[in-house]
Structure 1
Amino acid sequence: MQRSFFVVVWPAMLALVAGSQLARLSFGVPAGSGQPRDRFRNPFSHAGAWLLLTFLMLNPGQVRAAPDAVFERVAAQARALAQAPYRAPAQIPAALRTLSYDQYRDIRYRPSQALWKAEGLPFQVQFFHPGLFFTHSVQIHVIEADGTRELPYAAGRFDFGKNRLDPLPGDLGYAGLRIHAPLNRPDYYDELAVFLGASYFRSLGRGEHYGLSARGIAIDTAALGGEEFPAFREFWLVKPQPGARLITLYALLDGPSLSGAYRFDITPGTSTQMAVRARLFFRRTPQVLGIAPLTSMFWHGENSWRHFNDFRPEVHDSDGLAIVGGTGERIWRPLSNPQALRVSAFQFERLRGFGLVQRDRDFDHYQDLEAHYHQRPSAWVTPQGEWGAGELRLVEIPTPDETNDNIVAFWMPKRLPQAGGQMELAYRTDWGYRPAEQPAGGYVLATRRSPGDHAGGRRYIVDFAGGELDKLATAPQGVVTVGAGGKLLKQQVERNPATGGWRLSFQVQPPAAGPLELRAFLKQGARTLTETWSYLES
């Protein structure tokens, strides 16, 4: 099987990363959502070591989009910002910054005040109040047929619960926004997408509960000197027409290293689609540039050896990283909760797409009636245009529980933009149960491991199913590749009647020191039948 990638591993990076100034950025269920226990998570624990995120790079001039006057105006603002020294936004009043978690959660947006609710349009928008983790506000604008207007802050839009706050400034602004639409049934407006905190956003498909999230861009993640967190500063919401199937919004991004203009076109459905376009202007050359970032949580799963004091068999928002290389080869990397920070890089001359995926949809594997991990969305990123050469990075960070988002995946271009330069970006993210990553051929269902028969040895059990596999009358051949220093001891392939597919079992002797890289797939004769299973043991 010809391979279009190889992997570079950094097993220890924590010492290089300074602590984040955004310690404990929240990205859980918004106040008033009514969803249980999808709690606020802290993606900036572990000394700010993570958030290598993904985003798509195109060379200037490669994107041929239709004329968009609004986008050009926002881009002009971003260009002007980038030509001047960076100015941090003003902080909100201290009374809001010092709210406790429970106090902040007690501030709820009044659904009766939702934007466009009275007009019965197919989309409605609610807003988040500044406070606690969200110490900088954003400006909201509405684009209508007769022009653009600013949507000023209004305390009357919120129920403050038991909080007793002094009169707040009229120009306070909002922390972020959430979009509602009749996603699951025509008579109820479900929460469809959220933009909240730095450049974070997330969405879901029909019948799902919030899980993983995305970000506009990542700068200097895990680089010496610490990570930078550019943030969306302004949003422009385009008023939808009656019967509209999608909603459009624009955003202005700013940070010490760059400014940028974004356009999001969001189409709800069984798999909700987000088409993203951006133009970035760089004040400096970043050390690390994360394109189309995705971030998730993996506490423990079927491949975990360590004991976790938890009644649930598995706890994770995503169970694997899926990649499709330029030659069409599909790669599946099961996620893990390592004992030390681990960074992997899959290098490509061309990339067709990638995603953080929740393949396991069996409730019995989670046994969680509140968090609904079996109903968490997957997210798949598809480049629009050519990204060029680069690497797909995966970051796995140790976490003691499920409250920390500890998994990050993003594209890192080989050629970084220079100070004073600009970059045009375009991609699509699908949020759903079965996004575009699901291969038509054989794919990995499950990964398990245990000690082997020999001292220090390890056993791996990989279940494959789908495609031609389910129809094979004779066993396919397993192809196992063991990295430097390791040794393949034995292997076998047998039918798994419970899945209808085939189980590959093999044992290896790992090297005396250092990580062990493993790859495996099934074939019949010269034909490859499955995606490539890729695993890193450290």
Structure 2
Amino acid sequence: MDRRRLLALAGGAAASLVATGGASAQNATSQAIQGTLGEGQRFNPASVVELARLLSKKAYTPPPSDLPEPFANLTYEQYIGIRAQPSAVLWGGEGRSFSIEPLHRGFAFQSAVQLFVVEDNAVRRVLYDRSRFDYGRLQAPANLPDLGFSGFRVFGDAQGGRTREVAIFQGATFFRSSARGQNLGVMARGLTLKAGDSKGEEFPFFRAFWIEQPGPQSEKLVIHALLDSESVCGAYRFTLRSGEVSIIDTEVTLFPRAAVENYGIGGMSSTFLFGPNDRRGVDDVRPAVFESSGLQIKNGNDEWLWRPLSNPDTLQISAFVDPSPRGFGLMQRERDYTAFLDDDQNFERRPSLWIEPIGEWGPGLVQLIEIPTDSEINDNVLCYWRPKQALAAGAEVSFAYRQFWCWQPPERPNLLQVGETRVGRGRNNAQRRFVIDFEGEALKSSQAILELKPALSASPGSVVNIRVWPYPERKMCRIGFDLDVGTETVSELRLVLEAAGKPISETWLYRWTP
């Protein structure tokens, strides 16, 4: 894992750390886990749900985060120097489709996570063993207690006798995956709590995992997890399938300890530092730096929305109200190396993450949060589905959805797709110029381009100097206009291409701020 990816992941993990306390309560929680689904117990997925229900009725206790020296104060370089020995990899060399590497605690990953495997329907706890790690230049004590783990890495998708890293679960409820040929990028969250609230975000964590041993020919890996936080407990079941596209089916049952209005399902975070639409204050040799280029939504009215991301000067929270979502996600549409010219990060190979609800989720909204940042190691973009119905204390709520870690989402509309969005100075300092590219097979005809009409609006503000440039040889049409907002400090823009009074493109949305 390279420095940028680890530090971005660690930033979120550090935010979830809390002081150790309530040792007896922690022991009681640990005993409940051991007594229900611990070493030697017969595994039953329903028992994970029952554990979450039981835990929600008890007082919250933070996870153990006490680490002996030298692990309590590791630097980044020291932490990445700790590597698992081949003997530490579960099911390694057995010819199975997946293998698991437990991850050491340290650096920002202080909290202890319990790992269990399920073999022949029996639970076996994965115990920490000093001899199964190479500590590099670090002088580790000879006698160490069971430190637990910070998470685990999943290897699979064998090609030519080799396997690749297909997922990593580490830090709070964060996890990542990717399609074949990609780097890790956008990060998923098991649950988002109180994001953007004035009192601060609440970070739940996975207290324990149960990983089912895959059969020799199995194409899927099933992972169960127990979530805990001050406000909510939860039981999770992840079913991972890896290949050209990695798919993770997620089933979750939540048990709130307290009422929560602002919570998110299918949450994810990513990085947008600068790009063609937002280069304010940038002094960088690269033309762009972002893991995701935009938010895509297919809403309950079967309208496809595209919202380019930005790095604003002030915190921006956008809400896309929906009767019941059909899909949403952070997409990386820019796949050209020359768009980034970054030989280390290769942002053009970062995954898109598309969420497809299983069943009806009902009314709510897709919430997008864009946070100002001057560093590419910060995940400054967050989105999730926020149900209209709040979580009530003592309730039980279930959701299911499918994640596609992909080059492009599995469903593509028969519409023109938004390409690049560029923003710059207009005719004068009071105006901003926008140029938006639309792409698609229908644009290979000059006549088709001549018949389309841009339906464009700004609120508040006005748009002037609207122009259409046809490029049938590129199967592309370019729309340009100037935005005049006067003294306003925000404007919501909406653009869709129409023909014969009907939309023939995605709906382009944009929030302009100074």
Query: Residue 305 of structure 2 contacts residue 507 of structure 2 at CA under 8 Å; is this kept in 1?
Result: yes
Assess, with a 3 A threshold, how the Cα gap between structure 1 residues 44 and 136 changes in structure 2: closer, same or farther: closer
2:322 aligned partner: 348
SS at match of 1:104: helix
2:72 aligned partner: 97
* Mapped pair 1:164 → 2:169: no
Query: Residue 271 of structure 1 contacts residue 435 of structure 1 at CA under 8 Å; is this kept in 2?
Result: no
User: Per-residue CA shift, 1:343-364, capped at 9, x if unaligned?
Assistant: 1111111210101000010001
Which deviates more, 394-403 or 103-112?
103-112
2:379 aligned partner: 405
SS at match of 2:427: coil
Q: Report the alpha carbon displacement of residue 481 of structure 1 after superposing the two structures with TM.
A: 3.3
SS at match of 2:7: coil
1:396 aligned partner: 370
- Identity value in percent: 35
Number of residue pairs matched by the alignment: 485
Q: Distance in 2 between matches of 1:254 and 1:168?
A: 31
* Mapped pair 1:468 → 2:435: no
1:24 aligned partner: none
Task: State how 1:102-501 maps to structure 2 within 5 Å.
Answer: 102-145=77-120, 147-167=122-142, 169-182=144-157, 185-436=159-410, 438-471=412-445, 473-474=447-448, 475-496=450-471, 499-501=474-476
Q: Report the alpha carbon displacement of residue 215 of structure 1 after superposing the two structures with TM.
A: 0.6
Assess, with a 3 A threshold, how the Cα gap between structure 1 residues 435 and 235 changes in structure 2: closer, same or farther: same
Q: Report the alpha carbon displacement of residue 170 of structure 1 after superposing the two structures with TM.
A: 3.3
Q: Report the alpha carbon displacement of residue 271 of structure 1 after superposing the two structures with TM.
A: 1.2
- Output the amino acid matched with 1:513: E
User: Per-residue CA shift, 1:484-508, capped at 9, x if unaligned?
Assistant: 3311212122213563211111122
* Mapped pair 1:506 → 2:473: no
SS at match of 1:519: strand
User: Per-residue CA shift, 1:29-67, capped at 9, x if unaligned?
Assistant: 2xxxxx68645216758x979xxxxxxxxxxxxxxxxxx
User: Per-residue CA shift, 1:444-491, capped at 9, x if unaligned?
Assistant: 011011222245112111000114233452424333433333112121
Measured on the aligned residues, the alpha-carbon RMSD in Å equals 2.0
Q: Report the alpha carbon displacement of residue 69 of structure 1 after superposing the two structures with TM.
A: 7.0
1:515 aligned partner: 490
- Output the amino acid matched with 1:136: S
- Output the amino acid matched with 1:134: F
- Output the amino acid matched with 1:192: V
Q: Distance in 2 between matches of 1:334 and 1:356?
A: 10
Task: State how 1:28-39 maps to structure 2 within 5 Å.
Answer: 29=1, 38-39=5-6
* Mapped pair 1:75 → 2:42: no
Q: Distance in 2 between matches of 1:153 and 1:43?
A: 21
SS at match of 1:40: helix
Q: Report the alpha carbon displacement of residue 411 of structure 1 after superposing the two structures with TM.
A: 0.8
Which segments of 5 or more consecutive residues in structure 1 lack a partner in the other structure? 1-28, 30-34, 50-67
Q: Report the alpha carbon displacement of residue 117 of structure 1 after superposing the two structures with TM.
A: 1.1
Q: Distance in 2 between matches of 1:157 and 1:420?
A: 42
Query: Residue 92 of structure 1 contacts residue 131 of structure 1 at CA under 8 Å; is this kept in 2?
Result: no
Q: Distance in 2 between matches of 1:458 and 1:368?
A: 29
- Output the amino acid matched with 1:41: A
Task: State how 1:47-62 maps to structure 2 within 5 Å.
Answer: none
1:13 aligned partner: none
Assess, with a 3 A threshold, how the Cα gap between structure 1 residues 172 and 455 changes in structure 2: closer, same or farther: closer
Q: Distance in 2 between matches of 1:258 and 1:38?
A: 28
Q: Distance in 2 between matches of 1:243 and 1:343?
A: 46
Query: Residue 352 of structure 1 contacts residue 382 of structure 1 at CA under 8 Å; is this kept in 2?
Result: yes
Q: Distance in 1 between matches of 2:439 and 2:231?
A: 46
Q: Specify which structure has the higher proportion of helix.
A: 2
User: Per-residue CA shift, 1:406-457, capped at 9, x if unaligned?
Assistant: 0001111111120111110100000011123543321101101122224511
- TM-score, normalization by structure 1: 0.86
Query: Residue 322 of structure 1 contacts residue 333 of structure 1 at CA under 8 Å; is this kept in 2?
Result: yes
1:56 aligned partner: none
Q: Choose from 85, 109, 119 the match for 2:59.
A: 85
- Output the amino acid matched with 1:416: A
Assess, with a 3 A threshold, how the Cα gap between structure 1 residues 426 and 42 changes in structure 2: closer, same or farther: closer
- Output the amino acid matched with 2:300: G
Q: Report the alpha carbon displacement of residue 526 of structure 1 after superposing the two structures with TM.
A: 2.1
Query: Residue 37 of structure 1 contacts residue 370 of structure 1 at CA under 8 Å; is this kept in 2?
Result: no
Q: Distance in 2 between matches of 1:388 and 1:441?
A: 26
Query: Residue 214 of structure 1 contacts residue 294 of structure 1 at CA under 8 Å; is this kept in 2?
Result: yes
Query: Residue 444 of structure 2 contacts residue 472 of structure 2 at CA under 8 Å; is this kept in 1?
Result: no
Query: Residue 43 of structure 2 contacts residue 122 of structure 2 at CA under 8 Å; is this kept in 1?
Result: no
Assess, with a 3 A threshold, how the Cα gap between structure 1 residues 466 and 371 changes in structure 2: closer, same or farther: same
User: Per-residue CA shift, 1:160-197, capped at 9, x if unaligned?
Assistant: 011112245432211100100135x2311100000000
Query: Residue 108 of structure 1 contacts residue 158 of structure 1 at CA under 8 Å; is this kept in 2?
Result: yes
Assess, with a 3 A threshold, how the Cα gap between structure 1 residues 450 and 48 changes in structure 2: closer, same or farther: farther
Assess, with a 3 A threshold, how the Cα gap between structure 1 residues 505 and 450 changes in structure 2: closer, same or farther: same
Q: Distance in 1 between matches of 2:120 and 2:328?
A: 38
Assess, with a 3 A threshold, how the Cα gap between structure 1 residues 150 and 43 changes in structure 2: closer, same or farther: closer
Assess, with a 3 A threshold, how the Cα gap between structure 1 residues 238 and 471 changes in structure 2: closer, same or farther: farther
User: Per-residue CA shift, 1:105-136, capped at 9, x if unaligned?
Assistant: 11111234311113121111101101121111
Q: Distance in 2 between matches of 1:356 and 1:411?
A: 12
Query: Residue 43 of structure 1 contacts residue 405 of structure 1 at CA under 8 Å; is this kept in 2?
Result: no
Assess, with a 3 A threshold, how the Cα gap between structure 1 residues 48 and 223 changes in structure 2: closer, same or farther: farther
Q: Distance in 2 between matches of 1:471 and 1:208?
A: 34
Assess, with a 3 A threshold, how the Cα gap between structure 1 residues 499 and 397 changes in structure 2: closer, same or farther: farther
Assess, with a 3 A threshold, how the Cα gap between structure 1 residues 522 and 124 changes in structure 2: closer, same or farther: same
Q: Distance in 2 between matches of 1:206 and 1:283?
A: 40
- Output the amino acid matched with 1:211: G
Assess, with a 3 A threshold, how the Cα gap between structure 1 residues 280 and 444 changes in structure 2: closer, same or farther: same
Which segments of 5 or more consecutive residues in structure 2 lack a partner in the other structure? 17-41
